[in-house]
Structure 1
Amino acid sequence: MIRTLHRWPGLLALILVMALALSGAALSVFPAAERLSTPQAEAGLTVADLAGRILAAYPGVEQIRRAPSGRITAFWFDDGTPGAAVIDPATGKGIASADPDPVKRWLTNLHRSLFLGDAGRIAMAIGAVAMLILSASGAMLVARRMGGWRRWFAPLRGPASSRIHTGIARVAVTGLVLSSATALWMAASTFDLLPDGAAPPTFPTEVSGSTGVLLAAMEPLSVIAVTELRELSFPYPGDATDAFTLKTDRGTGYLDQGTGELLAWAELTMWERISETIYMLHTGQGAASLGLVLGVLALGVPAMGVSGLVLWFAGRRSRPRLRGNHPAKGAATILLVGSEGGSTWGFAATLQHALTTAGQHVHVAPMSGFEPARYPQAERFVILAATWGEGQAPATAKGFIERLAALESVPEAPLAVLGFGDRSFPAFCAFADEVASRAAAKGWAQLMPFDTVDRQSPQDFARWGRALGAALGIELTLEHVPTPPVTGRLTLISRRDYGAEVQAPTTILRFALPEATFLQRLTGRGFGRFQAGDLLGVLPEGADLPRFYSLASGRRDGFVEIVVRKHPGGLCSGQLLALEPGQAIRALVRHNPAFHAAAGRSPLILIGAGTGIGPLAGFIRGNSSKRPIHLAFGMRHPDSDFLYRDDLAGWQVDGRLARLTTANSRGAKPRYVQHSLRAESAELIRLVQEGARIMVCGGRDMASGVADALTDILAPTGLTPLALKAEGRYAEDIY
């Protein structure tokens, strides 16, 4: 519901919202510019002193106004000719024209009404409503995605468009709520939907009938500071029944032009003060700094609008259309999906179709929207969950664990959990397993035991489907056909071969960088934007699913590079190692922001073995800022598989690599990379205490040995790899 409430106002009112935001951002500059360019009254200057100076310069003065910025404007008649000027309070003389700025007037008309009068004002009010709904619903979605309000500023991950959209929203949402709410108040006031302010004081029926009192002798004007003045209107010349009209920050009154006495006074009401505060908050008049801040925040709206459109289109492409998705409140089967790249939604669509065909009422939704009260007719819950990174929740399951933990009681309807993953990775289905374990610990009854699907296997899915059908007492056949991924063509331009002598053929493959459209570069899709540490998904001939390799290059390097070792019977590695320059493969890029060399000057400790050198070499190659990088690299034998040997030597010379330590597992004195770490424990402790980030890439056995070694090394400091990981200072790319 919240997602729908966020999506449609954004899509339908995007142009209006962007027009409001951009014109408002431009208008926010004027109060600050006016404040900076306006001479300010000296401390202690009274209204009487100011009026006297202006009257001396312009004897026919009729009115003096002071804007919230401190700008003073005088209006007069000189032999029947009207005049006006911005006044220097120090002299009372004009220093600039009082004519309105044509650019400001144009922007104001655009912002208020699109140059369309009342119809335009209504349209812009609708835009303000849309912005308020977008801001409120967006805040709830951000909190849901981050796993709660307390994790509002937790690190972001996912596609660039998603990080841009959420990152800007987290900062701008407060300002956008304030701007849209105050805009609606002002629109309601314009159309007389709010009570009017208090009436001015009744004009006195009795006056002295005399004229000519000196301004300096008028006590009210002599005690009121110019900083409190809003407007002073002079009596009509020759009319002894007229009076001075004085408006200040406190109220409005009339002064006798013959005696200077205060004839009547009316304080500003609370309603007027509220209205004026809202006007100040919205326009920045009287609060120029706040206006600039709100204007800067409003500039985030176009970026959020574009990134939101990109996310919407990407979502439509990645998620299959679910025909006949039953409303949540009437569904008996609730199917919740946790997906990162979108493939799990395809399995959900297959299951939903099969259950619907069998006569079930099925509602499909992301796990992040889990709320038991939404499903009053639920008879069973089914969760299909992928795993991201090292056992973390995928994008559409953020916050599920926290919601489950916060429940006072679990639903009575039983639960089935199916995990999706790749057994070659250490954290195979770890998130789905955690969901099942926590649900069981909470007392949630099982519909059927926890199960898994390896590498999107249709056979695994069909087997599980038969078991689900048996649990439901129906015949259920799941025939899932994976959707082929969108790939690009990569042509090999060079290869460097290693490892033949130790029976471990390994090759560094470099492909030409494919062309990318402007939109791809803007959104980061395809090969538009990638960096070392991201993943290259290679689609082997005769296969439906890609095999992933860590990238050893970024787009700025001008090529695509990976390191591949030949695995016995490996379909993809066999095809890759058989490639010759000029031949091509089909591949795609999957972003992996959890294994990027974050910007900064803090040291990097890179630890890898074998093909794990790939992304680490990419980090070093891209280290143009010469931050301290220390590399510990394990290999079999330096004469056979010292990958990037010449490159590493060159990077040491030019300062991109500060220190290189190697470990050889073959030879007279074999040792592994973790042994090298223990030998340099003092240096490692020093680097970690200086804020170093540790990045490990390679096989799971190597990574486990490294973690054990670092646990021992860092014990005297009270730090552990787990603690560093919680701080974002320990990252692994394990296979």
Structure 2
Amino acid sequence: MIRVVHRWPGLLAALLLLVLSLSGAALSLFPAAEQLSVPQAEAGLSVARLTERVLAVHSQVEQIRRAPSGKITAYWFENGVPEAAVINSVTGQGVASADPNTVERWLTSLHRSLFLGDGGRMATAAGAAAMLILSLSGAMLVARRAGGWRRWFAPIRGPFAGRLHVEIARVAVAGFLLSSATALWMTASTFDLLPDAAASSIARIETSGRTGMTAAEMDLLKRTPVAELRSLTFPDPTDAMDVFTIKTDRGVGYLDQGTGALLAWSNPTGWQRISETVYMLHTGQGAAILGLLLGMMALGVPAMAATGCILWLAGQRGRPRICGNAAAGRADTILLIGSEGGSTWGFAATLHTALTAAGQAVHVAPMSSFDPARYRHARRILILAATYGDGDAPATARGFLDRLKTLPPAPVVPMAVLGFGDRSFPAYCAFAEAVARAAEARGWSMLVPYDTVDRQSPQDFARWGQRLGEATDIELELVHQPALPAARPLTLVSRREYGAEVQAPTAILRFALPKVSLWQWLADRGFGRFSAGDLLGVLPEGSSAARFYSLASGRRDGFVEIVVKKHPSGLCSGQLFNLKPGETVCAFIRLNPGFHAGRSRTPLILIGAGTGIGPLAGFVRANAQHRPVHLFFGMRHPARDFLYEEELTGWHREGRLRQLVTAFSRGRMPRYVQHALREEAAQIVALVRGGARVMVCGGRGMAAGVSSALAEILTPAGLTPALLKAEGRYVEDVY
């Protein structure tokens, strides 16, 4: 619901908000420019002394005004013609025209009313209301995505457009809230929708009936500093009943023009003080620095509008259209989706269609919207959950487990949990499994036992659907056709072969980088943005299932590179190994931000064997900032399968690689990479104590041996691989 409330006001009011934000940002410059350009009164100057100086030059002054910026303007008659000028408080002379800046006047009219009078003011008020709704709902969405209000500035993941959208919101949302709320207040004041904000009036003033006393002689004006002055209005000297009127920050006073006595004083009302504060906060008049800050925040609106539209379009493309989605309050079946890349939504659409055809009212929503209080007529809750990285919640399920654990135990509605993943990854369906365990611990009954779908298998999904149908007494047949990813042809430009002599044929394959559109780059789609450690999904001929290879390059390198070992019965590895320069293969990018080196300056300990050197070599290649990187690399024979030998030597010389430690399993003294780790135990302990991050890539057996060796090395120092994993300082990419 929050997402809907956030999305539609933004899309419908995008153009209006762009006009208001850009004009507001431009207007924020004028108070600061005025404060810097106008002559300021000297410290301690009194209103009486200022008046004396002005009268010495302009004897028929009717009013003196002081703006919040310190600009002093005098209004007088000269030969019966009204005149006005900005005054130098030292000389009393006019130094600039009092006419408003033409550009400022035009922008003000555009910003306040769109040049349309009261109708335009109502339209801009609608824009301010839309911005207020967007700010409040956006703040709630950011908090939900970050994992709570206390984690407001926690790192986030996802496409570039999404990250930019959230990062701007984190900084600018306070300004958006302030600007929109004050704009609505000012509009309400303009249309007299608020209590009267004017100062209390004086019913009757008794004067002395005399005239002739100059302002410079009046005690109150002598005691009032110019810094407090707002305006001083002079009386008609021919009317003995007329009075001097002085307005200051403290209120309004009326002075007898014959005696200088204070006849009456009116303090500002509470509403007037509030309205003045609101005006200052919105316009920056009297708070130029705040105005500039709000103007800078307003410039975030165009960027957020663009990234918001990109996210909406990406969401429309990434999720299947689910027709007939029932409201949460009247649905029989609640279907909650936890997805990172969008593929799980396709399975949800298939399940929704089948259940709807069976006469069920089904509500489909992301897991992050989980709220049992809304499911008044629900008879079952079904959860389809993918896993992100090393067992984390996917993008649409952030905060689900925390919300689940705060609910009262023993709910009436039963639940079923289905995990989606790839068995080749160590954290296979770990998040879905955690959801099932947490639900059972809170007393939720399970419709069917927790189950999984491997590599988007339609067969696995159909079998689960059959069991679900039997448990719910619904005739359910799930026939799902997985949507193939949008693959691009990659042209091989070079290959280097290793390891045939040691029965480990391996090749480094380098492909030309395909051209991408601006849309793909902004949305992180296709080959628009990738880094070493991300995955290249290759679609072999004769199969609809992709095989994944860790990337040894990033987009900035200008090519796509992977390391492939040929397996005797491997369909994809066989085709890749036989690929010749100039030939193509269909492939796509799958982001894997959990295995990125990041931009930190803390040391890196990279550990890999065989083809696991691929992404590790990519990290070293990209280390232009000379971050301390220590690489432990295991291979069979130094002369047969030393992958990236020349590059590693060069990177070490350039300072991209601090240390290279190798281990050879074939030879007179065979040893593995875990042996090399034990030999460097003291250094590893020192690095880890200093904040180093450990990254492991390679086969499962190697990774298990490395974990065991590091546990042996680190335990005496009070550290363990498990503790480092919990801190995000130990990550694996194993197969």
Task: Compute the TM-score of the two structures, normalised by the length of structure 1.
Answer: 0.96
Say whether the 8 Å CA contact 1:204–1:263 is kept in structure 2.
no
Tell me the equivalent position of 1:166.
Answer: 166
Instruction: Give the Cα–Cα distance (whole angstroms) in 1 for the partners of residues 686 and 237 of structure 2.
Output: 85
Counterpart residue number, 2:516: 516
- Residue range with higher mean Cα deviation, 171-180 or 192-201: 192-201
Match of residue 80 from structure 1 = 80
Where does residue 643 of structure 1 map in the other structure?
A: 643
CA 98–714 in structure 1, closer or farther in 2 if over 3 Å, else same: farther
Asked if structure 1 preserves the Cα contact closer than 8 Å seen for 2:200 and 2:269, the reply is no
In structure 1, the residue matched to 2:33 is 33
The residue aligned with 1:628 is 628
Q: Secondary structure at the match of 1:417?
A: strand
Distance in structure 2 (CA, Å) of the matches to 1:656 and 1:83? 72
Moved more, 426-435 or 141-150: 141-150
2:161 is paired with a residue whose SS is helix
8 Å Cα contact 2:384/2:417 also seen in 1: yes
Within 5 A, what are the aligned runs for 1:206-217? 206-217=206-217
Distance 1:90 1:685 in 2: 71
Contact 1:157 1:594 in 2 (8 A): no
Cα distance, 1:91–1:605 mapped onto 2, change above 3 Å? farther
Corresponding letter in the other structure for 2:504: A
- What are the equivalent positions in structure 2 for 1:45-56 lying under 5 Å apart? 45-56=45-56
Deviating runs (4+, > 4 A) in structure 1? Answer: none
Supply the distance in 1 between the matched residues of 2:695 and 2:27 (Cα, whole angstroms): 47
- Name the amino acid aligned to 1:25: A
Residue identity opposite 2:146 in structure 1: M
Q: CA-to-partner distance for each residue in 1:461-505, whole Å, 9 max, x for gaps?
A: 111111111111232111100111111121110011111122111
Q: Which residue of 1 aligns with 2:241?
A: 241
Aligned equivalents of 2:663 and 2:485: distance in 1? Answer: 39
Q: Which residue of 2 aligns with 1:485?
A: 485
**Counterpart amino acid of residue 463 in structure 1:** R
Question: How far 1:237 sits from its partner (Å)?
Answer: 4.7
1:193 counterpart letter in structure 2: L
Aligned: 1:352 with 2:352 = yes
Q: Residues of 1 paired with 2:37 and 2:684: CA distance?
A: 56
Which residue does 2:414 correspond to in 1? 414
1:660 to partner: Cα distance? 1.2
d(CA) in 1 for partners of 2:210 and 2:682? 95
- 2:103 corresponds to which residue? 103
Instruction: Give the corresponding residue for 2:566.
Output: 566
Distance 2:612 2:218 in 1: 86
Cross-structure match for 1:665: 665
Q: For 2:639, what is the secondary structure of its paired residue?
A: helix
Is 1:732 the equivalent of 2:732?
A: yes
**Equivalent in the alignment of 1:677:** 677
Contact 1:418 1:432 in 2 (8 A): yes
Distance change in 2, residues 1:568/1:611 (3 Å) = same
Does the CA contact (< 8 Å) of 2:605 and 2:692 recur in 1?
yes
Offset from partner CA, 1:276-325 (integer Å, 9 cap, x none): 11111111112222222222222222111111111111111111111222
Q: Deviations over 1:406-426 (max 9, x none)?
A: 112353111111111101110
User: Contact (CA 8 Å) 1:685, 1:714: kept in 2 or not?
Assistant: yes
- 2:314 corresponds to which residue? 314
1:717 Cα deviation (Å)?
4.4
The amino acid that maps onto 2:363 is H
Whichever residue aligns with residue 704 of structure 2, its letter is S
> Could you say which residue in structure 1 is the equivalent of 2:268?
268
Q: Choose 613-622 or 232-241, whichever is displaced more.
A: 232-241
Q: Tell me whether 403-412 or 521-530 shows the greater mean CA deviation.
A: 521-530
The letter for the 2-side match of 1:325 is: N
Report the more deviating stretch, 631-640 or 212-221.
212-221
Taking a change above 3 Å as real, the CA distance of residues 395 and 410 of structure 1, as seen in their structure-2 partners, is: farther
1:693 positional shift: 2.8
After TM superposition, give the deviation of residue 511 of structure 1 in Å: 0.7
Residue 703 of structure 1 is matched in structure 2 by: 703
The equivalent of 1:297 in structure 2 is 297
Distance in 1 (CA, whole Å) between partners of 2:734 and 2:106 is 59
How far apart, CA to CA, are the structure 2 residues paired with 1:430 and 1:21? 45
Deviation at 1:205, TM superposition (A): 4.6
**Quick check: 660-669 or 600-609, which moved more?**
600-609
1:413 partner amino acid: V
Q: Does 1:134 align with 2:134?
A: yes
In the TM superposition, residue 346 of structure 1 has moved relative to its aligned partner by 0.7
The 3-state SS of whatever aligns with 1:638 is coil
Superposition pairs of residues 600-611 of structure 1, within 5 angstroms: 600-611=600-611
Residue matched to 1:12 = 12
Whether the aligned pair in 1 keeps the contact of 2:311 and 2:523 (CA below 8 Å) is: no
CA distance in 2, matches of 1:461, 1:689: 46
| SS state at 2:667 partner | coil
After TM superposition, give the deviation of residue 84 of structure 1 in Å.
Answer: 2.6
Change (3 A) 1:577 1:197: same
Is the 2:533–2:552 Cα contact (8 Å) retained in structure 1? yes
Residue in structure 1 matched with residue 92 of structure 2 by the alignment: 92
- Local SS of the residue matching 1:528: coil
Contact 1:201 1:252 in 2 (8 A): no
Q: Deviations over 1:192-230 (max 9, x none)?
A: 111221355337553233333233321111112222111
- Compared CA separation, residues 688 and 53, structure 1 to 2 (3 A): farther
CA 1:34 to 1:474, structure 2 compared with 1: closer, same or farther past 3 Å?
same
Give 1:351-430 correspondences, 5 Å limit. Answer: 351-430=351-430
Measured in 1, the distance between the counterparts of 2:284 and 2:708 equals 58
Structure 2 runs not aligned, ≥5 long: none
Report the Cα distance in structure 2 between the residues aligned to 1:216 and 1:529, rounded to whole angstroms. Answer: 72
CA deviation vs aligned residue, 1:628-678 (integer Å, no higher than 9, x gap)? 222221212211211110011111122222221111222222222222222
Specify every segment of 5 or more residues in structure 1 that has no aligned partner in the other structure, as ranges: none
Distance 2:302 2:436 in 1: 41
CA 689–29 in structure 1, closer or farther in 2 if over 3 Å, else same:
farther
Partner of 1:390: helix, strand, or coil?
A: coil
Amino acid aligned to 2:512 = A
Cα separation, 1, equivalents of 2:83 and 2:709: 84
Change in Cα spacing, 1:53 to 1:336, as seen in structure 2 (3 Å) is: same
CA displacement, residues 74-100 of structure 1 (integer Å, 9 cap, x when unaligned): 222233343333233333333333221
* Whole-Å separation in 2 of the counterparts to 1:432 and 1:141: 22
Q: Report the 3-state secondary structure (helix = DSSP H, G, I; strand = E; otherwise coil) of the residue aligned with 1:131.
A: helix
In 1: Cα distance, 2:406 partner to 2:49 partner: 67
Counterpart contact for 2:212–2:237, Cα < 8 Å: no
Decide whether the 8 Å contact of 2:408 with 2:442 is kept in 1.
no
Which runs of structure 2 are paired with 1:327-346 in the superposition (5 Å)? 327-346=327-346
Question: Offset of 1:389 from its aligned partner?
Answer: 0.3
Q: Deviations over 1:51-81 (max 9, x none)?
A: 2222223333222111112222222223334
Q: Superposition RMSD on alpha carbons, in Å?
A: 1.8
Which is worse superposed, 39-48 or 363-372? 39-48
Whole-Å separation in 1 of the counterparts to 2:512 and 2:350: 38
TM-score (norm. length: structure 2): 0.96
Deviations 1:672-728 (A, max 9, x none): 222222222232233334433332222233233333333343345444434444444
CA-to-partner distance for each residue in 1:20-54, whole Å, 9 max, x for gaps?
22221222222222223333333322221222222
Aligned pairs for 1:183-262 (under 5 A) are 183-199=183-199, 201-202=201-202, 204-262=204-262
Change (3 A) 1:351 1:276: same
Task: Write the letter of the residue equivalent to 2:568.
Answer: P
Change (3 A) 1:535 1:276: same
Alpha carbons of structure 1 residues 572 and 130: separation in structure 2 relative to 1, 3 Å: same
Q: Secondary structure at the match of 1:170?
A: helix
Aligned position for 1:447 = 447
Aligned length in residues:
735
Which segment drifts farther, 81-90 or 562-571? 81-90
Whether the 8 Å contact between 1:204 and 1:264 is mirrored in structure 2 is: no
CA distance in 1, matches of 2:396, 2:237: 74
Provide the rounded CA distance (Å) in 2 between the counterparts of 1:325 and 1:554. 40
Contact 1:372–1:411 (Cα < 8 Å) also in 2: no
**What SS class does the counterpart of residue 245 from structure 1 fall into?**
strand
Measured at CA, do residues 734 and 69 of structure 1 come closer, stay the same or move farther in structure 2, by a change above 3 Å?
Answer: farther
* Deviation sequence 1:413-442 (CA, Å, 0-9, x none): 111111111011100110001100111111
Q: Decide whether aligned partners of structure 1 residues 32 and 605 sit closer, same or farther in structure 2, where only a CA change above 3 A counts.
A: farther
Partner of 2:471: 471
Aligned-residue offset at 1:7? 1.2
Whether 1:494 aligns to 2:494 is yes
